[in-house]
Protein backbone atom coordinates (compact mmCIF):
# COMPACT_ATOMS: atom_id res chain seq x y z
CA UNK A 1 0.00 0.00 0.00
CA UNK A 2 1.31 3.37 -0.87
CA UNK A 3 0.33 6.30 1.20
CA UNK A 4 1.43 9.75 0.35
CA UNK A 5 1.95 11.22 3.75
CA UNK A 6 1.51 14.94 3.87
CA UNK A 7 4.26 16.34 5.99
CA UNK A 8 2.71 17.67 9.18
CA UNK A 9 2.52 21.39 9.29
CA UNK A 10 1.71 23.79 12.06
CA UNK A 11 4.46 23.08 14.53
CA UNK A 12 3.91 20.97 17.66
CA UNK A 13 0.11 20.80 17.37
CA UNK A 14 0.38 19.60 13.81
CA UNK A 15 2.95 16.99 14.72
CA UNK A 16 0.98 15.67 17.65
CA UNK A 17 -2.22 15.57 15.59
CA UNK A 18 -0.45 13.71 12.84
CA UNK A 19 1.06 11.25 15.32
CA UNK A 20 -2.35 10.55 16.79
CA UNK A 21 -4.19 10.33 13.50
CA UNK A 22 -1.70 7.92 12.00
CA UNK A 23 -2.33 5.64 14.96
CA UNK A 24 -6.03 6.23 15.73
CA UNK A 25 -7.68 7.67 12.60
CA UNK A 26 -9.05 10.35 14.87
CA UNK A 27 -9.44 12.86 12.03
CA UNK A 28 -12.49 10.90 10.89
CA UNK A 29 -14.21 11.43 14.22
CA UNK A 30 -13.37 15.12 14.21
CA UNK A 31 -14.74 15.47 10.70
CA UNK A 32 -17.89 13.59 11.67
CA UNK A 33 -18.63 15.24 15.02
CA UNK A 34 -16.62 18.44 15.19
CA UNK A 35 -19.22 20.60 13.52
CA UNK A 36 -22.27 18.57 14.51
CA UNK A 37 -25.15 20.90 15.25
CA UNK A 38 -26.83 20.93 18.64
CA UNK A 39 -30.08 22.84 19.19
CA UNK A 40 -30.27 25.19 22.14
CA UNK A 41 -32.91 25.42 24.85
CA UNK A 42 -32.71 25.76 28.61
CA UNK A 43 -34.74 22.59 29.11
CA UNK A 44 -32.09 20.57 27.24
CA UNK A 45 -29.71 21.40 30.09
CA UNK A 46 -31.59 19.19 32.57
CA UNK A 47 -30.06 16.05 31.10
CA UNK A 48 -26.69 17.75 31.15
CA UNK A 49 -27.10 18.54 34.85
CA UNK A 50 -27.76 14.84 35.43
CA UNK A 51 -24.68 13.81 33.46
CA UNK A 52 -22.44 16.34 35.18
CA UNK A 53 -23.72 15.40 38.64
CA UNK A 54 -22.79 11.84 37.82
CA UNK A 55 -19.25 12.90 36.97
CA UNK A 56 -19.06 14.87 40.24
CA UNK A 57 -20.34 11.81 42.12
CA UNK A 58 -17.68 9.62 40.50
CA UNK A 59 -14.91 12.08 41.38
CA UNK A 60 -15.97 12.73 44.97
CA UNK A 61 -16.92 9.09 45.52
CA UNK A 62 -13.51 7.85 44.39
CA UNK A 63 -11.92 10.16 46.95
CA UNK A 64 -14.17 8.83 49.70
CA UNK A 65 -13.31 5.19 48.92
CA UNK A 66 -9.70 5.88 49.94
CA UNK A 67 -10.83 6.59 53.50
CA UNK A 68 -14.11 4.81 54.07
CA UNK A 69 -14.03 1.24 55.42
CA UNK A 70 -17.04 -0.92 54.71
CA UNK A 71 -16.79 -3.10 57.78
CA UNK A 72 -19.36 -3.80 60.45
CA UNK A 73 -16.73 -4.95 62.93
CA UNK A 74 -17.23 -3.13 66.16
CA UNK A 75 -14.80 -0.52 67.52
CA UNK A 76 -14.77 2.06 70.22
CA UNK A 77 -14.81 5.50 68.60
CA UNK A 78 -11.59 7.38 69.37
CA UNK A 79 -11.81 10.22 66.87
CA UNK A 80 -12.03 13.89 67.59
CA UNK A 81 -15.81 14.29 67.78
CA UNK A 82 -16.10 14.49 71.54
CA UNK A 83 -19.78 13.62 72.13
CA UNK A 84 -19.28 10.16 70.61
CA UNK A 85 -15.87 9.40 72.21
CA UNK A 86 -15.79 5.90 73.62
CA UNK A 87 -19.06 4.86 71.98
CA UNK A 88 -19.18 1.39 70.44
CA UNK A 89 -19.88 1.54 66.73
CA UNK A 90 -19.09 -0.18 63.47
CA UNK A 91 -15.85 0.54 61.62
CA UNK A 92 -18.03 1.90 58.79
CA UNK A 93 -19.54 4.51 61.08
CA UNK A 94 -16.19 5.32 62.72
CA UNK A 95 -14.44 5.77 59.37
CA UNK A 96 -17.26 8.01 58.16
CA UNK A 97 -16.83 10.11 61.30
CA UNK A 98 -13.09 10.22 60.70
CA UNK A 99 -13.68 11.45 57.15
CA UNK A 100 -15.96 14.13 58.58
CA UNK A 101 -13.91 15.26 61.57
CA UNK A 102 -10.27 14.29 61.11
CA UNK A 103 -9.61 14.60 57.42
CA UNK A 104 -9.15 18.05 55.95
CA UNK A 105 -11.68 18.52 53.22
CA UNK A 106 -13.25 15.17 54.10
CA UNK A 107 -16.52 16.63 55.29
CA UNK A 108 -16.61 18.84 52.21
CA UNK A 109 -16.12 15.87 49.90
CA UNK A 110 -18.76 13.83 51.76
CA UNK A 111 -21.21 16.68 51.39
CA UNK A 112 -20.30 17.24 47.73
CA UNK A 113 -20.96 13.54 47.16
CA UNK A 114 -24.31 13.61 48.94
CA UNK A 115 -25.53 16.89 47.41
CA UNK A 116 -24.45 15.81 43.94
CA UNK A 117 -26.33 12.54 44.42
CA UNK A 118 -29.49 14.41 45.37
CA UNK A 119 -29.03 16.71 42.39
CA UNK A 120 -28.40 13.70 40.12
CA UNK A 121 -31.73 12.11 40.90
CA UNK A 122 -33.61 15.41 40.85
CA UNK A 123 -32.11 16.28 37.46
CA UNK A 124 -33.00 12.86 36.04
CA UNK A 125 -36.57 13.30 37.26
CA UNK A 126 -36.92 16.75 35.71
CA UNK A 127 -35.23 15.59 32.52
CA UNK A 128 -37.77 12.76 32.26
CA UNK A 129 -40.62 15.22 32.76
CA UNK A 130 -39.22 17.42 29.98
CA UNK A 131 -38.97 14.41 27.66
CA UNK A 132 -42.49 13.35 28.56
CA UNK A 133 -44.28 16.66 28.22
CA UNK A 134 -42.64 17.53 24.91
CA UNK A 135 -43.18 14.10 23.40
CA UNK A 136 -39.47 13.55 22.85
CA UNK A 137 -39.98 9.84 23.54
CA UNK A 138 -41.72 9.26 20.21
CA UNK A 139 -40.18 7.24 17.39
CA UNK A 140 -37.23 6.79 17.04
CA UNK A 141 -36.46 7.47 20.73
CA UNK A 142 -38.67 4.95 22.55
CA UNK A 143 -35.74 2.70 23.41
CA UNK A 144 -33.74 5.61 24.74
CA UNK A 145 -36.65 6.42 27.04
CA UNK A 146 -36.44 2.85 28.33
CA UNK A 147 -32.72 3.20 28.94
CA UNK A 148 -33.30 6.51 30.71
CA UNK A 149 -35.96 4.91 32.87
CA UNK A 150 -33.56 2.17 33.94
CA UNK A 151 -30.97 4.86 34.69
CA UNK A 152 -33.52 6.54 36.95
CA UNK A 153 -34.07 3.30 38.88
CA UNK A 154 -30.33 2.70 39.11
CA UNK A 155 -29.78 6.22 40.39
CA UNK A 156 -32.28 5.63 43.16
CA UNK A 157 -30.64 2.29 43.97
CA UNK A 158 -27.26 4.02 44.09
CA UNK A 159 -28.74 6.63 46.39
CA UNK A 160 -30.20 4.12 48.75
CA UNK A 161 -27.13 1.88 48.92
CA UNK A 162 -24.91 4.90 49.52
CA UNK A 163 -27.22 6.31 52.16
CA UNK A 164 -26.93 3.05 54.11
CA UNK A 165 -23.14 2.89 54.13
CA UNK A 166 -22.36 5.09 57.18
CA UNK A 167 -24.28 2.57 59.33
CA UNK A 168 -25.79 5.35 61.41
CA UNK A 169 -29.08 5.28 63.27
CA UNK A 170 -31.15 6.81 60.50
CA UNK A 171 -29.84 4.67 57.66
CA UNK A 172 -30.08 1.58 59.88
CA UNK A 173 -33.76 2.31 60.33
CA UNK A 174 -34.06 2.70 56.57
CA UNK A 175 -32.57 -0.76 56.14
CA UNK A 176 -34.88 -2.09 58.84
CA UNK A 177 -37.84 -0.82 56.81
CA UNK A 178 -36.50 -2.40 53.62
CA UNK A 179 -36.03 -5.67 55.51
CA UNK A 180 -39.60 -5.44 56.83
CA UNK A 181 -40.89 -4.89 53.31
CA UNK A 182 -38.90 -7.78 51.92
CA UNK A 183 -40.12 -10.07 54.72
CA UNK A 184 -43.69 -9.18 53.81
CA UNK A 185 -43.34 -10.43 50.21
CA UNK A 186 -45.16 -13.69 49.62
CA UNK A 187 -43.26 -17.01 49.25
CA UNK A 188 -39.75 -15.64 48.75
CA UNK A 189 -39.63 -12.76 51.25
CA UNK A 190 -38.12 -14.54 54.23
CA UNK A 191 -35.35 -16.09 52.17
CA UNK A 192 -34.51 -12.96 50.23
CA UNK A 193 -34.14 -11.09 53.51
CA UNK A 194 -31.90 -13.83 54.88
CA UNK A 195 -29.73 -13.96 51.79
CA UNK A 196 -29.44 -10.18 51.60
CA UNK A 197 -28.47 -9.68 55.22
CA UNK A 198 -26.45 -12.89 55.50
CA UNK A 199 -28.77 -14.14 58.23
CA UNK A 200 -30.98 -12.17 60.51
CA UNK A 201 -31.30 -8.39 60.45
CA UNK A 202 -29.02 -6.50 60.96
CA UNK A 203 -26.22 -9.09 60.92
CA UNK A 204 -22.69 -8.05 60.06
CA UNK A 205 -22.60 -8.37 56.27
CA UNK A 206 -25.02 -5.88 54.82
CA UNK A 207 -22.77 -2.80 54.76
CA UNK A 208 -20.01 -4.64 52.89
CA UNK A 209 -22.50 -6.03 50.41
CA UNK A 210 -24.14 -2.69 49.78
CA UNK A 211 -20.67 -1.21 49.32
CA UNK A 212 -19.87 -3.65 46.52
CA UNK A 213 -23.16 -2.77 44.88
CA UNK A 214 -22.63 0.94 45.46
CA UNK A 215 -19.12 1.33 44.13
CA UNK A 216 -18.80 -1.50 41.64
CA UNK A 217 -21.87 -3.16 40.17
CA UNK A 218 -24.35 -0.30 40.05
CA UNK A 219 -21.90 2.36 38.80
CA UNK A 220 -20.64 -0.03 36.14
CA UNK A 221 -24.13 -0.67 34.79
CA UNK A 222 -24.97 3.01 35.17
CA UNK A 223 -21.90 4.07 33.23
CA UNK A 224 -22.51 1.55 30.46
CA UNK A 225 -26.11 2.68 30.08
CA UNK A 226 -25.16 6.37 30.15
CA UNK A 227 -22.74 5.72 27.28
CA UNK A 228 -25.49 3.92 25.39
CA UNK A 229 -27.95 6.70 26.19
CA UNK A 230 -25.60 9.33 24.77
CA UNK A 231 -24.72 7.21 21.75
CA UNK A 232 -28.39 7.18 20.89
CA UNK A 233 -28.49 10.95 21.21
CA UNK A 234 -25.75 11.10 18.58
CA UNK A 235 -27.42 8.54 16.32
CA UNK A 236 -30.84 10.22 16.53
CA UNK A 237 -29.47 13.77 16.67
CA UNK A 238 -31.09 15.96 19.30
CA UNK A 239 -34.75 16.89 19.09
CA UNK A 240 -35.62 20.55 18.65
CA UNK A 241 -38.53 22.77 19.55
CA UNK A 242 -40.77 23.72 16.64
CA UNK A 243 -40.19 27.12 15.10
CA UNK A 244 -39.69 28.86 11.79
CA UNK A 245 -37.05 27.15 9.71
CA UNK A 246 -37.07 24.04 11.88
CA UNK A 247 -38.39 20.90 10.26
CA UNK A 248 -38.46 17.18 10.88
CA UNK A 249 -35.54 16.93 8.47
CA UNK A 250 -33.09 19.37 9.96
CA UNK A 251 -31.40 20.46 13.18
CA UNK A 252 -30.90 24.14 13.82
CA UNK A 253 -28.37 25.20 16.40
CA UNK A 254 -24.71 25.68 17.13
CA UNK A 255 -21.76 23.51 16.15
CA UNK A 256 -19.99 21.38 18.77
CA UNK A 257 -16.74 23.18 18.01
CA UNK A 258 -16.42 25.77 19.28
CA UNK A 259 -19.67 27.23 20.65
CA UNK A 260 -21.42 24.17 22.00
CA UNK A 261 -18.22 22.79 23.55
CA UNK A 262 -17.65 26.10 25.32
CA UNK A 263 -21.19 26.35 26.60
CA UNK A 264 -21.66 22.71 27.59
CA UNK A 265 -18.12 22.45 28.95
CA UNK A 266 -18.54 25.68 30.89
CA UNK A 267 -21.85 24.41 32.19
CA UNK A 268 -20.10 21.41 33.77
CA UNK A 269 -17.99 23.80 35.82
CA UNK A 270 -21.05 25.83 36.74
CA UNK A 271 -22.86 22.73 38.03
CA UNK A 272 -19.73 21.56 39.85
CA UNK A 273 -19.21 25.02 41.33
CA UNK A 274 -22.77 25.28 42.59
CA UNK A 275 -22.61 21.82 44.17
CA UNK A 276 -19.34 22.69 45.92
CA UNK A 277 -20.80 25.97 47.10
CA UNK A 278 -23.81 24.22 48.61
CA UNK A 279 -21.59 21.52 50.13
CA UNK A 280 -19.34 24.15 51.72
CA UNK A 281 -22.20 25.98 53.36
CA UNK A 282 -25.10 23.58 53.97
CA UNK A 283 -24.85 20.48 56.15
CA UNK A 284 -26.30 17.27 54.75
CA UNK A 285 -26.79 13.98 56.60
CA UNK A 286 -25.12 14.85 59.94
CA UNK A 287 -24.65 11.24 61.03
CA UNK A 288 -22.81 12.36 64.17
CA UNK A 289 -26.01 13.77 65.59
CA UNK A 290 -27.89 10.51 64.88
CA UNK A 291 -25.25 8.23 66.40
CA UNK A 292 -24.45 4.63 65.47
CA UNK A 293 -27.16 2.14 64.55
CA UNK A 294 -29.06 0.59 67.40
CA UNK A 295 -32.33 -1.29 66.80
CA UNK A 296 -34.02 0.26 69.81
CA UNK A 297 -34.04 4.08 69.64
CA UNK A 298 -35.59 6.15 66.92
CA UNK A 299 -36.54 9.79 66.91
CA UNK A 300 -39.76 11.44 65.83
CA UNK A 301 -39.87 12.84 62.33
CA UNK A 302 -37.63 10.24 60.69
CA UNK A 303 -37.42 10.81 56.98
CA UNK A 304 -35.72 9.01 54.13
CA UNK A 305 -33.76 10.96 51.52
CA UNK A 306 -36.31 12.74 49.35
CA UNK A 307 -36.20 10.39 46.37
CA UNK A 308 -37.29 7.39 48.45
CA UNK A 309 -40.17 9.45 49.85
CA UNK A 310 -42.74 8.24 47.33
CA UNK A 311 -42.13 4.61 48.27
CA UNK A 312 -42.27 5.39 51.99
CA UNK A 313 -45.45 7.36 51.42
CA UNK A 314 -47.05 4.39 49.68
CA UNK A 315 -46.41 2.33 52.84
CA UNK A 316 -47.80 5.03 55.10
CA UNK A 317 -51.02 5.54 53.19
CA UNK A 318 -52.22 1.94 53.56
CA UNK A 319 -55.35 1.61 55.69
CA UNK A 320 -54.97 -0.57 58.82
CA UNK A 321 -55.61 -4.24 59.23
CA UNK A 322 -54.70 -5.50 55.77
CA UNK A 323 -53.24 -8.90 56.44
CA UNK A 324 -54.77 -12.30 55.83
CA UNK A 325 -53.88 -15.89 56.67
CA UNK A 326 -54.58 -18.19 53.78
CA UNK A 327 -53.49 -21.82 53.53
CA UNK A 328 -51.50 -21.36 56.71
CA UNK A 329 -49.38 -18.58 55.23
CA UNK A 330 -49.28 -14.87 55.99
CA UNK A 331 -50.28 -12.50 53.21
CA UNK A 332 -49.11 -9.03 54.19
CA UNK A 333 -51.33 -6.93 51.98
CA UNK A 334 -50.08 -3.82 53.78
CA UNK A 335 -46.75 -4.53 52.04
CA UNK A 336 -47.86 -6.32 48.89
CA UNK A 337 -50.37 -3.64 47.80
CA UNK A 338 -48.00 -0.65 48.07
CA UNK A 339 -45.25 -2.63 46.34
CA UNK A 340 -47.65 -3.53 43.54
CA UNK A 341 -48.92 0.05 43.28
CA UNK A 342 -45.35 1.30 42.91
CA UNK A 343 -44.50 -1.39 40.37
CA UNK A 344 -47.58 -0.65 38.28
CA UNK A 345 -46.85 3.08 38.45
CA UNK A 346 -43.26 2.54 37.33
CA UNK A 347 -44.36 0.06 34.65
CA UNK A 348 -46.73 2.68 33.23
CA UNK A 349 -43.96 5.26 33.16
CA UNK A 350 -41.76 2.75 31.37
CA UNK A 351 -44.43 1.70 28.90
CA UNK A 352 -45.98 5.06 28.05
CA UNK A 353 -44.10 5.68 24.77
CA UNK A 354 -45.13 2.25 23.52
CA UNK A 355 -48.74 2.77 24.60
CA UNK A 356 -48.97 6.11 22.83
CA UNK A 357 -47.28 4.72 19.72
CA UNK A 358 -49.86 1.93 19.64
CA UNK A 359 -52.77 4.33 20.06
CA UNK A 360 -51.63 6.76 17.38
CA UNK A 361 -50.29 4.13 15.02
CA UNK A 362 -47.94 6.87 13.89
CA UNK A 363 -44.87 5.28 12.36
CA UNK A 364 -43.07 8.46 11.33
CA UNK A 365 -39.94 9.75 12.99
CA UNK A 366 -40.54 12.75 15.23
CA UNK A 367 -37.72 15.17 15.81
CA UNK A 368 -39.79 18.30 16.40
CA UNK A 369 -41.03 18.50 19.95
CA UNK A 370 -44.64 19.10 20.90
CA UNK A 371 -45.58 22.11 22.89
CA UNK A 372 -47.34 20.50 25.88
CA UNK A 373 -50.63 22.26 25.09
CA UNK A 374 -50.72 20.69 21.65
CA UNK A 375 -50.95 17.19 23.14
CA UNK A 376 -53.64 17.86 25.74
CA UNK A 377 -54.32 14.28 26.81
CA UNK A 378 -50.67 13.34 27.05
CA UNK A 379 -49.98 16.46 29.08
CA UNK A 380 -52.98 15.68 31.29
CA UNK A 381 -51.77 12.11 31.83
CA UNK A 382 -48.39 13.50 32.80
CA UNK A 383 -50.00 15.90 35.26
CA UNK A 384 -52.00 13.04 36.76
CA UNK A 385 -48.80 11.03 37.17
CA UNK A 386 -47.03 13.97 38.78
CA UNK A 387 -49.98 14.40 41.13
CA UNK A 388 -49.94 10.72 42.09
CA UNK A 389 -46.22 10.87 42.81
CA UNK A 390 -46.64 14.12 44.73
CA UNK A 391 -49.35 12.71 46.99
CA UNK A 392 -47.25 9.63 47.76
CA UNK A 393 -44.37 11.95 48.46
CA UNK A 394 -46.44 14.11 50.78
CA UNK A 395 -47.46 10.86 52.48
CA UNK A 396 -43.84 10.31 53.49
CA UNK A 397 -43.98 13.66 55.29
CA UNK A 398 -47.39 13.12 56.89
CA UNK A 399 -46.04 13.47 60.43
CA UNK A 400 -44.02 16.58 59.56
CA UNK A 401 -47.04 18.16 57.87
CA UNK A 402 -49.16 17.35 60.94
CA UNK A 403 -46.71 18.88 63.43
CA UNK A 404 -45.85 21.93 61.32
CA UNK A 405 -49.40 22.90 60.51
CA UNK A 406 -50.79 21.74 63.86
CA UNK A 407 -53.33 19.40 62.37
CA UNK A 408 -54.02 15.78 63.33
CA UNK A 409 -51.88 13.07 61.83
CA UNK A 410 -54.95 10.97 61.15
CA UNK A 411 -56.52 13.89 59.32
CA UNK A 412 -53.44 14.36 57.13
CA UNK A 413 -53.22 10.68 56.26
CA UNK A 414 -56.94 10.29 55.56
CA UNK A 415 -56.88 13.39 53.35
CA UNK A 416 -53.88 12.08 51.44
CA UNK A 417 -55.54 8.68 51.01
CA UNK A 418 -58.51 10.36 49.33
CA UNK A 419 -56.22 12.68 47.34
CA UNK A 420 -54.23 9.73 46.06
CA UNK A 421 -57.34 8.55 44.21
CA UNK A 422 -59.03 11.85 43.36
CA UNK A 423 -55.98 14.07 42.90
CA UNK A 424 -54.78 12.48 39.65
CA UNK A 425 -58.32 12.54 38.24
CA UNK A 426 -58.73 16.24 38.96
CA UNK A 427 -55.22 16.97 37.75
CA UNK A 428 -56.06 15.17 34.50
CA UNK A 429 -59.30 17.05 33.92
CA UNK A 430 -57.97 20.47 34.82
CA UNK A 431 -54.78 20.09 32.79
CA UNK A 432 -56.65 18.88 29.74
CA UNK A 433 -59.03 21.85 29.94
CA UNK A 434 -56.16 24.29 30.38
CA UNK A 435 -54.37 22.84 27.33
CA UNK A 436 -57.50 23.01 25.20
CA UNK A 437 -58.09 26.57 26.37
CA UNK A 438 -54.56 27.54 25.40
CA UNK A 439 -54.99 25.93 22.01
CA UNK A 440 -58.21 27.85 21.48
CA UNK A 441 -56.44 31.04 22.40
CA UNK A 442 -53.70 30.22 19.89
CA UNK A 443 -56.35 29.70 17.21
CA UNK A 444 -58.00 32.96 18.04
CA UNK A 445 -54.76 34.91 17.91
CA UNK A 446 -53.87 33.28 14.61
CA UNK A 447 -57.23 34.06 13.06
CA UNK A 448 -57.91 37.49 14.47
CA UNK A 449 -54.48 38.80 15.41
CA UNK A 450 -53.57 40.20 18.79
CA UNK A 451 -55.03 43.22 20.55
CA UNK A 452 -52.95 46.32 20.00
CA UNK A 453 -54.65 48.43 22.65
CA UNK A 454 -55.33 51.05 19.99
CA UNK A 455 -58.96 52.17 20.00
CA UNK A 456 -60.26 53.90 16.89
CA UNK A 457 -63.53 55.56 16.19
CA UNK A 458 -65.15 54.60 12.94
CA UNK A 459 -66.91 57.19 10.76
CA UNK A 460 -70.23 55.80 11.93
CA UNK A 461 -69.34 56.55 15.54
CA UNK A 462 -68.52 52.97 16.48
CA UNK A 463 -65.43 52.37 18.64
CA UNK A 464 -63.29 49.41 17.88
CA UNK A 465 -59.93 48.04 18.96
CA UNK A 466 -57.39 47.51 16.24
CA UNK A 467 -56.17 43.92 15.99
CA UNK A 468 -52.86 43.24 14.37
CA UNK A 469 -52.09 40.11 12.46
CA UNK A 470 -49.08 38.04 13.49
CA UNK A 471 -46.04 38.02 11.29
CA UNK A 472 -45.23 34.81 9.41
CA UNK A 473 -42.71 33.61 11.96
CA UNK A 474 -44.93 34.08 14.99
CA UNK A 475 -47.88 32.57 13.21
CA UNK A 476 -45.88 29.49 12.28
CA UNK A 477 -45.22 28.93 15.97
CA UNK A 478 -48.97 28.65 16.58
CA UNK A 479 -50.13 26.67 13.56
CA UNK A 480 -47.37 24.11 13.05
CA UNK A 481 -48.23 21.27 15.32
CA UNK A 482 -49.06 17.62 15.07
CA UNK A 483 -52.75 17.12 14.73
CA UNK A 484 -54.44 13.80 15.47
CA UNK A 485 -58.02 12.66 15.06
CA UNK A 486 -59.71 9.56 16.48
CA UNK A 487 -59.88 6.46 14.31
CA UNK A 488 -63.25 5.24 13.14
CA UNK A 489 -63.67 1.51 13.24
CA UNK A 490 -64.29 0.03 9.84
CA UNK A 491 -64.05 -3.61 8.85
CA UNK A 492 -60.66 -4.77 7.62
CA UNK A 493 -59.93 -6.50 4.30
CA UNK A 494 -61.64 -9.66 5.50
CA UNK A 495 -64.71 -7.74 6.56
CA UNK A 496 -64.06 -8.15 10.27
CA UNK A 497 -63.73 -5.78 13.17
CA UNK A 498 -61.33 -7.26 15.66
CA UNK A 499 -61.29 -6.59 19.38
CA UNK A 500 -57.91 -4.96 19.12
CA UNK A 501 -59.22 -2.57 16.46
CA UNK A 502 -62.12 -1.66 18.72
CA UNK A 503 -59.80 -1.08 21.68
CA UNK A 504 -57.47 1.07 19.64
CA UNK A 505 -60.37 3.12 18.33
CA UNK A 506 -61.65 3.62 21.87
CA UNK A 507 -58.23 4.71 23.07
CA UNK A 508 -57.80 7.04 20.11
CA UNK A 509 -61.15 8.62 21.06
CA UNK A 510 -59.91 9.06 24.61
CA UNK A 511 -56.78 10.76 23.32
CA UNK A 512 -58.04 12.85 20.43
CA UNK A 513 -61.79 13.31 20.77
CA UNK A 514 -61.50 16.87 22.09
CA UNK A 515 -59.39 18.14 19.30
CA UNK A 516 -58.47 21.66 18.36
CA UNK A 517 -57.10 21.50 14.81
CA UNK A 518 -54.44 23.96 13.71
CA UNK A 519 -55.62 26.90 11.65
CA UNK A 520 -55.44 26.26 7.92
CA UNK A 521 -54.63 28.74 5.18
CA UNK A 522 -58.24 28.82 3.99
CA UNK A 523 -59.57 29.47 7.46
CA UNK A 524 -57.09 32.25 7.90
CA UNK A 525 -58.02 33.82 4.56
CA UNK A 526 -61.70 33.67 5.42
CA UNK A 527 -61.05 35.28 8.79
CA UNK A 528 -59.09 38.05 7.14
CA UNK A 529 -61.85 38.68 4.62
CA UNK A 530 -64.36 38.74 7.42
CA UNK A 531 -62.28 41.23 9.38
CA UNK A 532 -61.95 43.55 6.40
CA UNK A 533 -65.65 43.40 5.80
Which of 180, 230, 284, 339 is close enough to bind another protein by CB under 8 A?
180
Strands 74-76 and 324-326, sheet pairing: unpaired
From the CB of 350, what's the least distance to another protein, in Å?
A: 21
Q: Which of 148, 189, 376, 385 binds another protein (CB under 8 A)?
A: 189
CA 530, CA 463: separation in Å to the nearest integer?
Answer: 18
d(CA 246, CA 252): 6
Q: Compute the half-sphere exposure of residue 343: CA atoms within 13 Å on the CB side of its CA.
A: 6
455 to 474, contacts with another protein by CB under 8 A? 472-473
CB of 23 to another protein, least distance (A): 29
Q: Of the candidates 3, 5, 187, 458, which one interacts with another protein according to CB under 8 A?
A: 187
107 binding another protein? (CB under 8 A): yes
Identify the residue among 8, 198, 208, 449 touching another protein (CB under 8 A).
198
- Binding to another protein (CB under 8 A): which residues in 271-330? 271-274, 276-277, 279-281, 293-302, 312, 315-323, 325, 328-330
Asked whether the beta carbons of 172 and 302 are under 8 A apart, the reply is no
Encoded one letter per residue, x for contact with another protein by CB under 8 A and - for no contact, window 72-101 reads: x-x-----xxx-----x------------x
CA atoms within 13 A on the CB side of 231: 8
The span of 4-12, 157-165, 378-386, 508-516 binding another protein (CB under 8 A) equals: 508-516
Pattern of binders to another protein over 5-44, x per CB under 8 A?
------------------------------xxx-------
Give the per-residue SS3 of 487-522: CCCCCCCCCCCCHHHHHHHHHHHHHHCCCCCCCCHH
Stretch of residues binding another protein (CB under 8 A), selected from 214-222, 223-231, 419-427, 515-523: 515-523
Residue 241 interacting with another protein (CB under 8 A): no
Residue 249's alpha-carbon distances to 103, 222, 399, in angstroms, are 55, 32, 53
Query: DSSP letters along 78-111, please?
Result: -SS-GGGTT-EEEHHHHHHHHHHHTSTTHHHHHH
Interface mask toward another protein for 396-435; x: CB under 8 A:
--xx---------xx--x----------------------
For the chain, the first-to-last Cα distance in angstroms comes to 79
Count of Cβ atoms closer than 10 Å to residue 21 Cβ: 15
Cα–Cα distance, 372 to 378 (Å, whole number): 8
Closest CB 52 distance from another protein, rounded Å: 10
184 contacts another protein (rule: CB under 8 A): yes
The answer to the question of residue 203 lying near another protein (CB under 8 A) is yes
> Should residue 47 be labelled a site residue for another protein when binding is judged by CB under 8 A?
no
Using CB under 8 A as the binding rule, the residues of this chain from 210 to 239 that contact another protein are 235-237
Phi, psi angle pair for 289, to nearest 5°: -85, -15
Helix (H, G, I), strand (E, B) or coil at 181: helix
Minimum separation from the CB atom of position 167 to another protein (A): 10
Distance CA 105, CA 62 (A): 14
Q: Does 176 participate in binding another protein (rule CB under 8 A)?
A: yes
103/129 with CB nearer another protein: 103
Burial of 85 (0-12, 13-18, 19+ CB in 10 A): exposed
Residue 343 to residue 181: CA distance in whole angstroms: 14
User: Of the listed pieces 117-125, 332-340, 385-393, 456-464, which binds another protein according to CB under 8 A?
Assistant: 332-340
- Of 311, 335, 375, 390, the one binding another protein (CB under 8 A) is 335
CA-CA-CA-CA torsion sign (278, 405, 156, 150):
negative
Among 63-71, 418-426, 448-456, 517-525, the segment contacting another protein (CB under 8 A): 517-525
User: Judged by CB under 8 A, does residue 355 bind another protein?
Assistant: no
Per-residue binder mask for another protein (CB under 8 A), 113-152, x = binder: ---------------------------x------------
- The answer to whether 470 and 441 have CB atoms below 8 angstroms apart is no
Amino acid sequence: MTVTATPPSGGVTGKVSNYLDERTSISGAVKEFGRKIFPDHWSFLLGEVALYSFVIILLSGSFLTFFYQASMASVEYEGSYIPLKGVEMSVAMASTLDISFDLRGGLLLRQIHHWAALLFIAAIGLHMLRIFFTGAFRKPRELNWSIGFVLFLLAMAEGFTGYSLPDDLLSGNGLRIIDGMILGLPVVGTWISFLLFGGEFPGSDIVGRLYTLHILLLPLILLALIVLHLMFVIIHKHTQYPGPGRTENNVVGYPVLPVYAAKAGGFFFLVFGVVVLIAATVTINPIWSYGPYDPSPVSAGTQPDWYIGFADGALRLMPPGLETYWFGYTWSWNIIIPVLVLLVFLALVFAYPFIEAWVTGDKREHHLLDRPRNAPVRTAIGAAGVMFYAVLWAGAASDIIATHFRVTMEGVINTLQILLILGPIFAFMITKRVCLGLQKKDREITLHGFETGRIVRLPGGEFTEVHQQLNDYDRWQLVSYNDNAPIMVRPNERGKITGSMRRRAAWSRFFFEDRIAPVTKTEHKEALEHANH
